[in-house]
Structure 1
Amino acid sequence: MSFSLNEVEATAKRATRGAGYSWGQAEEASKAVRWLCAQGLDGAEVLARLLTLGLASELAAHRPRQVDGLWQGDGELCPLSAGPLLSDSAYLLKAAPVEMRDVVAPELLLPFAANAARVLKCWVSVEIDGTLAVTDGDHLAVHGVLPAAARRVTVSQGVAPETLRSRHSRAQPAPGDWDVLNRFAHRTYAPATEESRLLGAGAGLSDND
């Protein structure tokens, strides 16, 4: 399966909303997934895995309780809550690293670290349980295998890596992951009504031909 980044972004947005996140968070998620796919990472798989956890039903428990000091929640941290906060709090990295605990789908933090790098105009490193990723906002280097969940994530100002990942213009999600996203996306579609059918193309509810 091969899709344009525009297709992936649109599907990710509807899927995130269908999973119970706000439209604002869905917008953030869709751009994050697109950025990951552009870096050659499987953003669709990461989002599908996150949405199946059902964190949106009690999202307050999965966002950082504070930004001063250690970032942790009452439950596992959701990257769609911690990530935008990281972007908005990029200035904190000038003073000290940001440390997070118990993050699910931590790969989704990388696009938000990229936003912070653009704001600060520097390289930003994200260490995820020993795996190091470095970005300047547009490019990415990853040293190691990114885990599905992380006990510890440390975000700090970094240095330019020697090699960078190649950029991609299309995504190739696995059929199962794409199906998961589409199932969530379908929750945002309004069911057909008699009025909508009458307003649609064709003969409506009767056929006099």
Structure 2
Amino acid sequence: MTGASNDGIRLSLSEIDALGKKAARGTGCSWGLAEEAGKSARWLAGYGLAGPESLAALFTAPRCCGCTSDSAAPLCPIAAGAELSDSAEDIAHGTDVRLGDVAQPLLLLAQASRSANALQVILTLRWSGFSATCFPDGLSIETGDGVGDAIGRNVVCSSANAAINETDLRAGAGSRLVLRSAYETLNRLAGKTYAPATDTSRNSGAGAGTKDND
């Protein structure tokens, strides 16, 4: 951990990745989806966007994915992002992918942008009040009113022909200030992945064991 303030906890991008992955595992996500969750939070944080905060909000609200049984809830963006990644080549060749309603859709933006980079294509992601263009090496948000939406309505990903301009965002490096409430939520969920201490683990070297070294 890099540091703390009254407003939040400053974490490196690698710490955000690791915390997001552990928190996802704590909610029951598979290893594959947990890794995607951590990467998405890190990617967004690298662009100065609310990646860890979106992930914390996702894990404390209804969502539809293999980790939950709430089929009436909006789609999980991590699970939907895997589908988007699988369909990226079709999207690049002109096939729109319509995902419907997606919880915390900002996390889906990370998935779309990583697909644009992997395929070296330009993709757009849209929902009500939001539109962004994903370049192989950058991002442009054209309509950002819905950037913080808890649910993205009628989410669509499609190919685009666009030129890079001065409004494009580039990923930064270093650390990001994470809202304290989001950090505490993710840290609490991550704690569910830790095995409780036992006499056997303590005696085998985990912790101080039963010996008093003072």
TM over 0.5: yes
d(CA) in 1 for partners of 2:100 and 2:200?
50
String of CA shifts for 1:148-199, please: whole Å, max 9, x gaps: 2111111111223422124322221110100000000000000001011112
Gaps of 5+ in 2: 1-8
Matched letter for residue 77 of structure 1: L
Which sits farther off after the overlay, 74-83 or 50-59? 50-59
d(CA) in 1 for partners of 2:138 and 2:55?
20
Matched letter for residue 83 of structure 2: L
SS in 1 for 2:132: strand
Identity in percent: 40
d(CA) in 2 for partners of 1:80 and 1:202?
36
Preserved CA contact (<8 Å) 1:104 1:148: yes
2:24 pairs with 1:19: no
d(CA) in 2 for partners of 1:130 and 1:208?
62
Gaps of 5+ in 1: 63-72
- More strand as a share of residues: 2
Q: How far is 1:80 from its partner?
A: 1.1
Which sits farther off after the overlay, 182-191 or 128-137? 128-137
d(CA) in 2 for partners of 1:204 and 1:131?
54
Tell me which residue corresponds to 1:4. 12
Q: Report the TM-score, using the length of structure 1 for normalisation.
A: 0.86
The correspondence for 1:152, drawn from 154, 166, 175, is: 154
The correspondence for 1:87, drawn from 74, 85, 88, is: 85
SS in 2 for 1:16: helix
Q: How far is 1:60 from its partner?
A: 6.8
d(CA) in 2 for partners of 1:179 and 1:45?
10
SS in 2 for 1:156: strand
- More helix as a share of residues: 1
SS in 2 for 1:114: helix
Tell me which residue corresponds to 2:171. 167
String of CA shifts for 1:46-103, please: whole Å, max 9, x gaps: 00000112547864767xxxxxxxxxx7541111111011111112211321112111
Aligned length, in residue pairs:
199
Matched letter for residue 2 of structure 1: R
CA RMSD of aligned residues (A): 2.2
Preserved CA contact (<8 Å) 2:94 2:158: no
Matched letter for residue 152 of structure 1: N
Tell me which residue corresponds to 1:123. 122
Tell me which residue corresponds to 2:198. 193
Matched letter for residue 37 of structure 1: A
Preserved CA contact (<8 Å) 1:77 1:104: yes
Tell me which residue corresponds to 1:111. 110
2:159 pairs with 1:178: no
Matched letter for residue 86 of structure 2: D
d(CA) in 2 for partners of 1:208 and 1:5?
38
